[in-house]
């Protein structure tokens, strides 16, 4: 009888362990390769690089600055990220829903993760995330350190079968003045939807290649964004 009880106990113990292992294994199968936003990319297969600046401005905003993140499905992007702020920031690629869930967790306890879809940088530091966007959809780049997202540190990442130019809001305008030496152009423009700014006349920064396409009095359609804290023409039709 004792041998029977002992045998039964051992059988139950191993069975319980097996069930525990199955449950654990199931939990561990969720990794970056299964993420909706895509998967880690290979450096030797990078299609293009997007420079990203993390910073705070004088208005109390925290910003992720870069060109528009319009990406072709299947593209591998190297995000070259620099923290030009005075605080620690992070850069996370995920769905809006998953970022919202993780933001709640971070509010309870500020955790630093070591995942391929994110990087955390001290002030003045730089690093990179190489990512392959395998799936089409609208995703998000964000900083989930408590209070940073709420201060404006997030932006849309649009992934489509083709470069998602349709998702870009172009603004109509007329070039009033060009200062090529200073890299500045004065534009009389309509509302800047992406910056939540009304129609007015403003001075924008533009690189040498962009200015070479411009002339005073020219009617244009353009996209502007904040780059290193300065309003900059980033795209031009």
Question: Residues 179, 132: one domain?
Answer: no
Question: Residues 99, 183: one domain?
Answer: no
Question: Residues 53, 146: one domain?
Answer: yes
Question: Residues 184, 162: one domain?
Answer: no
pLDDT at residue 59 in the model: 85
pLDDT digits (tens, 9 = 90+) for 176-188: 999 999 999 999 9
Question: Residues 53, 141: one domain?
Answer: yes
Q: Is residue 218 part of a domain?
A: yes
Q: Is residue 58 part of a domain?
A: yes
Q: Is residue 12 part of a domain?
A: no
Q: Is residue 8 part of a domain?
A: no
Q: Is residue 17 part of a domain?
A: no
Q: Structure tokens of 152?
A: 């404006």
Question: Residues 64, 147: one domain?
Answer: yes
Question: Residues 77, 162: one domain?
Answer: yes
pLDDT digits (tens, 9 = 90+) for 32-80: 446 899 999 999 999 999 999 999 998 889 999 998 899 999 999 999 9
pTM across the whole model: 0.58
Question: Residues 78, 140: one domain?
Answer: yes
Q: How confident is the model at residue 16 (pLDDT cuts 50, 70, 90)?
A: very low
Q: Is residue 153 part of a domain?
A: yes
Tell me how far apart the alpha carbons of residues 206 and 231 are, in angstroms, rounded to a whole number: 9
For residue 139, what are the domain limits?
34-166
Q: How confident is the model at residue 115 (pLDDT cuts 50, 70, 90)?
A: confident
Higher pLDDT, 38 or 23: 38
Question: Residues 53, 157: one domain?
Answer: yes
Q: Is residue 9 part of a domain?
A: no
Tell me how far apart the alpha carbons of residues 119 and 102 are, in angstroms, rounded to a whole number: 15
Residue 165 has pLDDT above 80, yes or no: no
Q: How confident is the model at residue 29 (pLDDT cuts 50, 70, 90)?
A: very low
Instruction: Provide the CATH number for the domain around residue 111.
Output: 2.60.40.420
Instruction: Provide the CATH number for the domain around residue 220.
Output: 2.40.50.320
Question: Residues 115, 193: one domain?
Answer: no
pLDDT digits (tens, 9 = 90+) for 168-227: 678 999 999 999 999 999 999 999 988 888 999 999 999 888 898 899 999 999 999 888
Asked which of 111, 139, 166 is the last residue of a domain, the reply is 166
| Mean pLDDT, residues 1-14 | 45
Mean pLDDT (the chain) is: 83
pLDDT above 70 covers a percentage of the chain that reads 81
pLDDT at residue 25 in the model: 34
Q: Are strands 200-205 and 118-121 parallel, antiparallel or unpaired?
A: unpaired
Lowest mean pLDDT among 64-78, 95-109, 155-169: 155-169
| Mean pLDDT, residues 151-159 | 94
Residue found under tokens 């029977």? 4
Number of separate domains in the chain: 2
Q: Is residue 98 part of a domain?
A: yes
With left for phi above 0 and alpha for psi between -120 and 50, is residue 151 left, alpha or beta? alpha
């Amino acid at each position: 009888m004792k041998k029977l009880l002992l045998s039964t106990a051992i059988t139950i113990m191993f069975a319980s362990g097996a069930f525990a292992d199955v449950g654990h294994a199931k939990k561990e199968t969720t990794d970056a390769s299964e993420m909706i936003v895509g998967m880690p990319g290979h450096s030797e297969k990078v299609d293009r690089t997007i420079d990203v600046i993390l910073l705070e401005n004088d208005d109390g905003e925290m910003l992720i600055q870069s060109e528009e993140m319009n990406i072709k499905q299947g593209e591998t992007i190297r995000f070259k990220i620099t923290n030009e702020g005075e605080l620690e920031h992070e850069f996370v690629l995920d769905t809006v829903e998953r970022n919202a869930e993780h933001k709640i967790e971070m509010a309870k306890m500020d955790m630093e993760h070591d995942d391929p879809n994110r990087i955390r940088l001290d002030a003045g530091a730089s690093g990179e995330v190489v990512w392959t966007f395998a799936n089409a959809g609208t995703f998000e780049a964000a900083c989930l350190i408590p209070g940073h997202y709420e201060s404006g540190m997030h932006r849309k990442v649009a992934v489509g079968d083709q470069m998602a130019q349709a998702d870009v809001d172009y603004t109509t305008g007329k070039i009033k003045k060009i200062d090529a030496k200073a890299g500045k152009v004065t534009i009389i423009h309509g509302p800047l939807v992406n910056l939540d700014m009304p129609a007015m006349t403003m001075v924008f920064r533009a690189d040498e290649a962009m200015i070479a396409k411009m002339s005073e009095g020219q009617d244009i359609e353009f996209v502007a964004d904040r780059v290193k804290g300065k309003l900059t023409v980033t795209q031009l039709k």
